[in-house]
Amino acid sequence: MKVHSDELYQLIQSLEPHEKGYFKRFVNENKLNSQSKIYLLLFDVLERMREYDEKVLQRRLRGKVNLLHLSKLKNYLMEAILECLEFYHDDTTPLLIINKYMARIELLLKKTFYKRALKTIHQAQALAEKYELFYHQLHLSLIESNTNNFLHQSSDRHSEELKQVIEEHKEINQKISNVMEYNLLKARTHALHQRMYQARTEEEKKAVQGLLSNPLLKDISNASSFKSKFGFLYCEGGLHFMAGHMEKFTENYMEQILLFETLDKEALAHQGQEYLTAINNAITPQSLELAEGLCSKGLTFYEGLPHKLKTKQKRLIMVLIKSNYAIALQQHLQFEEALKIAKEEIAVCRANRFKHLNSEIELYSISFCSAFIMEDYKEALKYVNYALAMKESPTILKTSQFFRLANLMVHYELGNLDALPYLAASAERFLKKNKVYGGFEKKLVALFDKTLPQTSGQKETQKVFSDLFSKANHLIPRHEISEGFRFEPWIRAKMEGRKMEQVLREERVRK
């Protein structure tokens, strides 16, 4: 059975609104051929699809397009979009700019405009050096030497220039070799991280320590270029995270931020995705001041980017930065502000149709927890329903597990006691199916299924939760099972007939 590629669909979905607009103008103005309307029709149909489905695509095009030629039409449209993007970004992407220089140099040399060619070569060399385009540097230095040979007929002078070129090539090749060594180390670090989240067994700890002791990671001075320095910090940070050295992990990302800030404004703009990622990873919920400062830094940088460089991927990272800031606000009991930020970012996620499920469900979690702790249970239920309506995925399993239990809690707080047995049975099926039905989950589901629906009065309720606490205290997760939420303070609040927020504030004072 033929497998239909969704490559064209993915490309169209990745386009920014301004790129889509430019492409449509590009087609209309250039009249690619007599079938321009058909290409735009295919483009529009693919743009509107939520998920790629070849049968749906064919059904929507039937009668308008010869389906026997659909494969050719898709290939042609793919090439047209890529060609259009090259035109659109040829003044903002360093590699495209330098390739334009190279084409111009070749034309000037063919026309024997050697002085003009040399000037263009120097412009291209400055760009190649700035963005560490090493292979272009090598090629340009050879072209420069040959061009000088045409301008200066002296064999002695040309000989000296060749010696200089040889030395330059040695230095550049050393940098290339250094970058490749760090790239290999990055690949090994990434492969190790895919095998484990954090090292737990002795064997895993030994593997992490083995990479940490690599001579390349002894000192950053071993890195001879910006790319290599970034490789050094990338590997060191990832390995410290796997080793559980969280302070060193955070320090590492602060060093990454400082490294990026050594670049000039234009160069930093082209490293924007990596720079924003470093800012996001440096945010820790323990320090609200640091989180606020880093969030502000990221926002200022993003807003200052040229229009064409404000990509969907960078917007997603900004969502993650603001989510982490909202988590820090929750940790410092500023629930109203955390909820406000989470709501704003949910709107951004929906407007951009991000495929990143983790960011979306994390925002639902932040919103639920803030609303629940503030006892706005109707608002909290809204985010539970959003989360439960999401497509099941292994990447969000842990949070989905939490929301099954959160659904029981919020319906209980809303007084929907008649619905609890049904919801408890549904939660039990889901947790069993995904093999996350442990001791605590069993006791909590049983509480909502059988005990609480038959409980009346505050004293009886407090006793029920006291019994749960005494019997399941050793099973209650002490860590946050979802962003900003722990079960223990809620159970204590029900035991003592108090508000959960009060219990959390007292905890913070004690700490």
Indicate whether 510 belongs to any domain. no
Indicate whether 377 belongs to any domain. no
CB-based contact 359:349 (threshold 8 Å): yes
pLDDT in tens, 182-201: 999 999 999 998 888 788 88
Q: Judge if 149 and 169 occupy the same domain.
A: no
CB-based contact 419:404 (threshold 8 Å): no
| Cα distance between residue 44 and residue 55, in whole Å | 16
| Cα distance between residue 476 and residue 486, in whole Å | 9
Q: Judge if 96 and 127 occupy the same domain.
A: yes
Report which of residues 441 and 341 the model is more confident about: 341
Q: Judge if 70 and 121 occupy the same domain.
A: no
Q: Judge if 191 and 173 occupy the same domain.
A: yes
Indicate whether 283 belongs to any domain. no
Pick the range with the lowest mean pLDDT from 47-51, 91-95, 367-371, 481-485. 481-485
pLDDT at residue 155 in the model: 63
141 token code pair: 């230095």
Report which of residues 391 and 105 the model is more confident about: 105
CA 74 to chain centre: 29
Mean pLDDT of 260-281: 94
pLDDT at residue 480 in the model: 52
Indicate whether 47 belongs to any domain. yes
**DSSP assignments along 258-320, one per residue:** HHHTTS-HHHHHHTHHHHHHHHHHH--TT-HHHHHHHHHHHHHHHHTS-GGG--HHHHHHHHH
Say what the pTM is: 0.85
Residues of the chain with pLDDT > 70: what percent?
A: 94
Q: How confident is the model at residue 1 (pLDDT cuts 50, 70, 90)?
A: very low
Q: Judge if 236 and 175 occupy the same domain.
A: yes
Indicate whether 423 belongs to any domain. no
Q: Which domain range does residue 111 map to?
A: 92-154
pLDDT at residue 221 in the model: 94
pLDDT at residue 399 in the model: 80
Q: Judge if 192 and 220 occupy the same domain.
A: yes
Mean pLDDT of 208-213: 94
Q: How confident is the model at residue 384 (pLDDT cuts 50, 70, 90)?
A: very high
Burial class (CB in 10 A: 0-12, 13-18, 19+), 242: buried
Q: How confident is the model at residue 3 (pLDDT cuts 50, 70, 90)?
A: low
pLDDT in tens, 174-187: 999 999 999 999 99
Q: Judge if 26 and 80 occupy the same domain.
A: yes
Using the predicted structure, report yes or no on whether residue 2 has a pLDDT greater than 50.
Answer: yes
Using the predicted structure, report yes or no on whether residue 489 has a pLDDT greater than 80.
Answer: yes
pLDDT at residue 484 in the model: 65
Indicate whether 211 belongs to any domain. yes
Q: Judge if 218 and 231 occupy the same domain.
A: yes
Mean pLDDT of 378-390: 93
Domain final residue, candidates 88, 104, 128: 88
Domain final residue, candidates 34, 62, 88: 88
pLDDT in tens, 228-241: 999 999 999 999 99
Q: Judge if 126 and 197 occupy the same domain.
A: no
Q: Judge if 13 and 64 occupy the same domain.
A: yes
| Cα distance between residue 285 and residue 321, in whole Å | 11
Q: Judge if 140 and 171 occupy the same domain.
A: no
Mean pLDDT of 31-40: 71
Cα-Cα-Cα-Cα dihedral sign, residues 400, 405, 406, 408: positive
Consecutive H or E run containing 499? none
Domain final residue, candidates 154, 182, 199: 154
Q: How confident is the model at residue 468 (pLDDT cuts 50, 70, 90)?
A: confident
- Residue 222 C-beta-side C-alpha neighbours within 13 Å: 14
What total of structural domains would you count in the chain?
Answer: 3
Average pLDDT value for the chain: 88
Q: How confident is the model at residue 69 (pLDDT cuts 50, 70, 90)?
A: confident
Q: Judge if 238 and 168 occupy the same domain.
A: yes
Pick the range with the lowest mean pLDDT from 5-19, 217-231, 351-365, 368-382. 351-365
Mean pLDDT of 283-302: 94
Using the predicted structure, report yes or no on whether residue 481 has a pLDDT greater than 80.
Answer: no
CB-based contact 375:499 (threshold 8 Å): yes
pLDDT in tens, 328-340: 999 999 999 999 9
Consecutive H or E run containing 135? helix 134-151
Using the predicted structure, report yes or no on whether residue 219 has a pLDDT greater than 70.
Answer: yes
